[in-house]
Every structure is written in structure tokens, then in C-alpha cells.
């Protein structure tokens, strides 16, 4: 639903559809009432497509949750391998296992950051769709009246012109609301990009600290296993 793939977003398309406005319909040679009805139908089709996009976004969020669970399991598995290597006295193997554990841990944290953003996207999409559906429902409830007003306005007369101006005002209000939602999307996208850049910088810093981190983890494993050995010896004496 973003414009990153070169396609206009939902609210851009909605605004363009509404921007055809009653005035455009009144100026057209065809039936202005029918033009307005088609505009509302197009808006309904856009909302249905947005609902399909929302379902796909929810599926992607669930896939990310499963991936995080798998990475967590893998991370714990490499910790166990490192402990076993220390028990066997193979510090090189233990360090290699810890390096793999750190890599998987970073991948898990990146995925968790993505999950937070995906969850926010799903929530935003749901809110925007609900707002759009409410707007469309309100317009559809007045569809017959709006069509009659558009036709009357095209017919001429001071009263018809007044009706046309009032209708245009209502459409403008809807346009303003959609513009606000679109602006919110833009701000959210910029914020997400900022977080991505921060995450990249953090990753680079973690690489610099990686060697020290591995040393600390290896030392912690040695201390843990050294503490377990006396207990095992005492148990054997019993």
C-alpha cells in the first residue's frame, strides 16, 4: 500500500478518485449523477483491495513471529554446543559456536525490530481502512440525494448552484481527511527509515565490540562449567 513500488498508495488513489469531484461531473457531457455513482463504486473497489493487502500484511507478521521463535531455538542450541566444547577443553570450537550464536542473535533482534514495525503497519492499515469505509458508507447512504443534487446543479439555476457548492464543500472535507491520513503515512515511513539507519549503526558498533563480547561469554561459560564440576565430583563420591 505504499508508493515505494511505484504504484500510488490507497489514500493517493482515493484522493484522486474523489478529486474528480462533483464539479467535474457537472462539467462533463455525460450524466453527472452517474459519474458520481461510478466514483463511489471505484472508491469501494479501492477499499476492497486495501483489505486484501491488510490480510497479506497479517500473514507476513505471523511468518515473522514464527521465524523469531525458530531463531531463538537455534541460538540456544549454539549456546549448548559452546558449553559442550568447553567441557571437552576445546576453546577454539567453543569460540566458533559462540560466534554463530551471536550471529543468530543479531538476526533475531533485527527480525524483532521488523516485527514491531510490521505490527504498527497492520494497525495503521486497519485504522485507515475503517476510516475510509465509514466515509464511503456515509456517502453511499446519501447516494441518491447526491446524484440528484449533481444533476440539479448541472441543470442551472441559483439554487442548484448553491447545492453544488455545498456538495463540493463536503467532498473537500473528505479530501482533507484523506490528505491527513496520507501525511501520517509519510511521517511513519520517514520514522521507519530513521530507525533502520539507527539499527545499521548499532550493528556496526556491535561488530567492533564482538570480540570482547565473545571473550566475556566464553569466560562466563568456563566459570559456569567450573562451578558445576565440583558438584559432579561430590555426587560421584556419594
Instruction: Tell me which of 3-12, 92-101, 112-121, 124-133 is least confident.
Output: 3-12
* Sequence spans of domains, the chain: 10-237
Range with top average pLDDT, 37-51, 78-92, 107-121, 143-157: 107-121
Under 8 Å CB-to-CB from 63, ≥6 apart: which residues?
A: none
- b or e along 112-145 (b: 16 or more beta carbons within 10 Å of the residue's beta carbon)? ebbbebbeebbebbeebbeebbebbeebeeeeee
pLDDT tens digits, residue range 24-55?
544 544 677 777 788 888 888 888 998 999 99
Rounded-to-integer distance, Cα 91 and Cα 52, Å: 53
Amino acid at each position: 500500500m505504499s508508493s515505494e513500488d511505484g504504484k500510488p498508495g490507497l489514500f493517493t488513489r482515493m484522493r484522486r478518485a474523489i478529486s474528480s469531484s462533483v464539479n467535474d461531473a457537472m462539467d462533463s457531457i455525460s450524466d453527472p449523477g452517474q459519474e458520481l455513482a461510478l466514483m463511489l463504486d471505484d472508491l469501494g473497489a479501492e477499499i476492497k483491495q486495501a483489505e486484501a493487502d491488510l490480510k497479506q500484511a497479517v500473514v507476513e507478521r505471523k511468518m515473522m513471529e514464527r521465524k523469531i521463535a525458530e531463531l531463538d531455538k537455534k541460538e540456544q542450541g549454539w549456546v549448548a554446543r559452546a558449553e559442550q566444547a568447553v567441557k571437552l577443553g576445546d576453546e577454539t570450537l567453543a569460540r566458533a559456536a559462540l560466534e554463530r550464536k551471536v550471529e543468530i542473535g543479531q538476526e533475531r533482534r533485527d527480525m524483532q525490530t521488523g516485527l514491531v514495525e510490521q505490527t504498527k503497519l497492520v494497525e495503521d492499515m486497519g485504522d485507515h481502512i475503517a476510516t475510509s469505509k465509514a466515509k464511503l458508507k456515509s456517502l453511499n447512504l446519501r447516494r441518491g440525494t447526491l446524484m440528484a443534487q449533481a444533476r440539479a446543479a448541472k441543470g442551472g439555476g441559483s439554487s442548484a448552484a448553491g447545492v453544488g457548492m455545498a456538495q463540493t464543500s463536503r467532498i473537500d472535507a473528505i479530501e482533507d481527511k484523506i490528505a491527513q491520513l496520507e501525511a501520517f503515512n509519510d511521517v511513519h515511513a520517514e520514522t521507519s527509515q530513521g530507525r533502520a539507519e539507527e539499527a545499521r549503526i548499532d550493528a556496526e558498533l556491535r561488530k567492533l565490540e564482538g570480540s570482547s563480547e565473545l571473550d566475556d561469554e566464553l569466560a562466563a561459560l568456563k566459570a559456569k562449567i567450573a562451578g558445576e564440576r565440583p558438584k559432579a565430583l561430590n555426587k560421584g563420591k556419594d
